[in-house]
Amino acid sequence: MATLANTATTIESAAQTVFKNEPFVDFTRLENVRAMREALDKVRRQLGREYENVVGGHRVRTTAKSKSINPSHPEQVVGIFQKAGAEDVPAAIAAAQKAFEGWSRTPVETRATLLFRVAQALRERKFEWSAWLVFEVGKSWVEADADVAETIDFAEFYGREALRLAKSVPPIQLPGEHDELRYIPLGVGAVIPPWNFPSAIMAGMTLASIVCGNTVVLKPSGDAMTIAAKFYELLEQNGLPDGVVNFVTGGGSSFGNELVKHPQTRFISFTGSKEVGLHIHELAAKAQPGQIWIKRTVLEMGGKDSILVDSDSDLDEAAAGVIASAFGFSGQKCSACSRAIVDERVYDKFVERLKDRAEKLTIGPAEENPNLGPVVNEGARKTILDYIQKGIAEGGRLITGGKAVEGLDGYFIHPTIISEVKPGDTIEQQEIFGPVLAVIRCKDFHEGLRIANDTEFGLTGAVYTKSAERQELAKQEFHVGNLYINRKCTGAMVGAHPFGGFNMSGTDSKAGGPDYLLLFTQAKSIARKL
């Protein structure tokens, strides 16, 4: 294992460079295609391994096991994992508490160095890391690479942000005093990430927690346990002390609930569905015997995102943006465009453009690098197909897709467009999390904004319009945490687009922004009389 003793070189090099987003891999270059295929072959030979839980640096096995499978080929086991229960929570919390005593007092420069080393290690293993994402959750090469690049960005950005936060000073120095403002860690946290960005969000939540001096219990999604296990191994290889991150796979209703409820859990960082997020929030709100704090919840819970297409917009650009936002990673993004709201004066033309583009998309096993790979599991496929039938039954017109792909053994669904969807219809209101786009007709831009805002969510949205006046109106009235103008509503970039939403989309945590680390700290004001 590497140590964190020699931090000066890493910190100095980071401090002297301005943060820049990690560039994406250009897969039109043959050498990159060759490197990706070699990585896929390498990872394929490692599939099916059993991974242990790690608590306080000790490897732990349980009698019950669970499996992560390849959604492109469900018969292919990606990894075998332990299945911890409620009885395993106290040991994980105790290990994190013990590690907190030393880690919370470790200089921020040392903690930041760990993040910078992780970023560099990921750069060196970028193709291999992407290959794991291809196999475990069915990401195309481009989507996997974007996930890895964002992971690197989080490591670099949060390391720098921690160093910046450590230099905070109060805005006023009173005469006769020396006044300080310190951001200190909270304590032991539960990190519960999703499967759809199994590297970036999982790593980002974990790294933000620990760079601030907290220790965590990391419980990954049951559909994305392998990449989390690989990430824990990467942390170990780069000097992570025992117990700072405790890697535990287990059921949400048993291990997860007890983890959230435990009186020594200080905060919960969660990304996932609205239903689970609200359940976590409710559990966390009830003080347990022996609990001496109000638990903090950092929740990102999904969306019902829309793109509003004005009558004066460039329809080809708008169609490209809607298609990319709706069907990237088969629509399995909380930021995905699941509603296109289109001015009636261009509605029919725009629907035809959408149909033409959607029917040119390729579908297949993720390792073959299609436009659309599988949805994550059999349950998701069934739910998505049920939503499609509901949309048609409520009066929607099926334009293209609408069914599972025949001849493939994975969980594939054709990209689906349903037009003539009415405001208030089921597929216009509920998050589907699949390759389904509802197209809604509006009279004008003002009515389109009202339809866009008529949802319990408020995560992302976009408008396509040439009108400066209507752009300003959208800035003022479109009630979302991330608004995009004349571009797609997915693909938030660390630093440029702090990410998080309003209403039932969560606590507006703004991951990748200058406020994010504040969620994992508490401010301590210190005044010393001179």
* Catalytic center residues: 300, 334
3-class secondary structure, 420: strand
Q: What is the distance between the alpha carbons of residues 417 and 166, in angstroms, rounded to a whole number?
A: 50
Q: What is the distance between the alpha carbons of residues 2 and 429, in angstroms, rounded to a whole number?
A: 50
Q: What is the distance between the alpha carbons of residues 503 and 520, in angstroms, rounded to a whole number?
A: 21
The contacts of residue 339 (CB under 8 Å, 6+ apart) are: 304, 305, 306, 307, 421, 428, 437, 438, 439, 440, 452
- Total number of residues shown for the chain: 530
Longest alpha-carbon distance in the chain = 79
Structure tokens at 250: 């287990």
Yes or no: say if 81 and 51 are a contact pair by the CB < 8 Å rule. yes
Q: What is the distance between the alpha carbons of residues 474 and 494, in angstroms, rounded to a whole number?
A: 23
Structure tokens at 149: 């690049």
Extract long-range pairs of 50-53: CB within 8 Å, 24+ residues apart: 50/79, 50/80, 50/81, 51/79, 51/80, 51/81, 51/82, 51/225, 51/226, 51/229, 51/249, 52/82, 53/82, 53/84, 53/88, 53/246, 53/247, 53/248, 53/249
What's 499's DSSP letter? Answer: B
Q: What is the distance between the alpha carbons of residues 207 and 159, in angstroms, rounded to a whole number?
A: 9
- The CA R_g of the chain, rounded to the nearest whole Å, is 23
Q: Which amino acid is at 81?
A: F
**Residue 207 half-sphere exposure toward CB, CA atoms < 13 A:** 33
**Residue 301 half-sphere exposure toward CB, CA atoms < 13 A:** 22
Q: What is the distance between the alpha carbons of residues 360 and 68, in angstroms, rounded to a whole number?
A: 31
Burial 261-295 (b: 16+ CB within 10 A, else e): bbebbbbbbbbbebebbebbbebbeeeeeeeeeeb
The contacts of residue 17 (CB under 8 Å, 6+ apart) are: none
- The continuous run of DSSP H or E covering 396 comes out as none
Token pair 């890493």 is found at 10
The gap from C-alpha 163 to its chain's centroid, in whole angstroms, comes to 24
Of residues 61, 75, 162, 156, the one with CA closest to residue 110: 162
